[in-house]
């Protein structure tokens, strides 16, 4: 009996079995076992990522504490609050408060509407403007080196963010999303991601200019990350983040 005949015989036997009570029970058991195995794998992956996030965030908080204190003092000399709290959209569309060092003037949000017509990002979903008048002198420095993102370590410790994941959008941006864009909300948002380090072509040592990546490509890169994410991938993206920060891209 050839291989094709054997496969056909096996499929016929399975069909006949499912017509009996024993066959139906066996099918339910097999499907249930597969679902349970998949759930265990998913839970294990989430648990591993959470342990990774807590470990990295705890170490990063200790190492970054002196720099965070110095930045806070510089911002305080500029006047106004040290931190900027903004509502962002996270996993599954849930809102949370994301923290950053304040890099703009106190009335920055109120002045945004008057600047939207100068947006340099195609499509108008995200906002980018060279020489944004709302940015303070110290803010320009910490934004160029991404040091304004350091308080998000606390968001990671709270479980609202991850070390690596799609950047969390503001509700105004999400309201403009097309259906495919919402795929970005299928993962816990992160401090760093593929487009933050300028990795566009997937090369191992690639660190590029994130400022030239438009919104459709950001979505594409975020979806690529979600589909391919692994602990090893997260570690590699994290290791490439400091060079990207130092290059000020």
Per-residue pLDDT of the chain (249 residues; tens, 9 = 90+): 455 556 655 655 555 455 566 666 666 666 666 665 555 555 567 889 999 999 999 999 999 999 999 999 999 887 789 999 999 999 999 999 999 999 888 777 777 777 766 665 555 567 666 777 888 889 889 988 889 999 999 999 999 999 999 999 999 899 989 998 999 999 999 999 999 999 999 888 899 888 888 889 999 999 999 998 889 999 999 999 999 888 766
74 vs 71: CA distance, rounded Å = 5
pLDDT of residue 134: 85
User: Does the pTM of the predicted model rise above 0.85?
Assistant: no
Strand partners, 86: 98
210 vs 194: CA distance, rounded Å = 9
pLDDT of residue 66: 96
157 vs 190: CA distance, rounded Å = 12
pLDDT of residue 7: 61
pLDDT of residue 181: 92
Q: What is the DSSP letter of 163?
A: E
Contact assessment for residue 130 and residue 119, using Cβ atoms and an 8 Å cutoff: no
DSSP 176-218: T--GGGGGGGGS--EEE-TTTTT--S--TT----GGG--HHHH
pLDDT of residue 136: 87
Calculate the CA dihedral of residues 79, 80, 82, 86 and round it to 10 degrees: -150
pLDDT of residue 6: 62
121 vs 138: CA distance, rounded Å = 24
Q: Residues 185, 209, 129, CA angle at the centre, nearest 5°?
A: 75
Q: What is the DSSP letter of 149?
A: G
Indicate the domain borders of the chain. 45-247
pLDDT of residue 107: 77
């Amino acid at each position: 009996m050839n291989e094709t005949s054997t496969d056909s015989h096996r499929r016929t036997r399975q069909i006949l079995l499912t017509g009996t009570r024993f066959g139906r029970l066996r099918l339910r058991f097999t499907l249930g076992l597969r679902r349970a195995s998949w759930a265990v794998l998913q839970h294990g992956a989430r648990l591993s990522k959470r342990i990774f996030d807590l470990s990295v965030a705890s170490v990063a908080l200790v190492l970054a504490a002196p720099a965070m204190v110095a930045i806070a003092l510089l911002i305080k000399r500029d006047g106004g609050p040290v931190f900027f709290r903004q509502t962002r959209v996270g996993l599954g569309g849930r809102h949370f408060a994301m923290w950053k060092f304040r890099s703009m003037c106190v009335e920055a949000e109120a002045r945004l509407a008057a600047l939207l017509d100068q947006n340099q990002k195609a499509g108008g979903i995200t906002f980018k403007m060279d020489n944004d008048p709302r940015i303070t002198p110290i803010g320009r420095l910490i934004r160029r080196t991404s040091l304004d993102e350091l308080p998000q370590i606390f968001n990671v410790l709270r479980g609202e963010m991850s070390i690596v994941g799609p950047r969390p959008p503001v509700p105004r941006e999400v309201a403009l999303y097309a259906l495919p864009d919402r795929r970005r909300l299928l993962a816990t948002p992160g401090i760093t991601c593929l487009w933050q380090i300028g990795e566009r072509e997937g090369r191992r040592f690639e660190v590029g200019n994130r400022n030239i990546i438009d919104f459709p490509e950001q979505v594409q890169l975020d979806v690529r990350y979600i589909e391919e994410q692994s602990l090893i991938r997260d570690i590699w993206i994290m290791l490439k983040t400091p060079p990207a920060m130092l290059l000020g891209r």
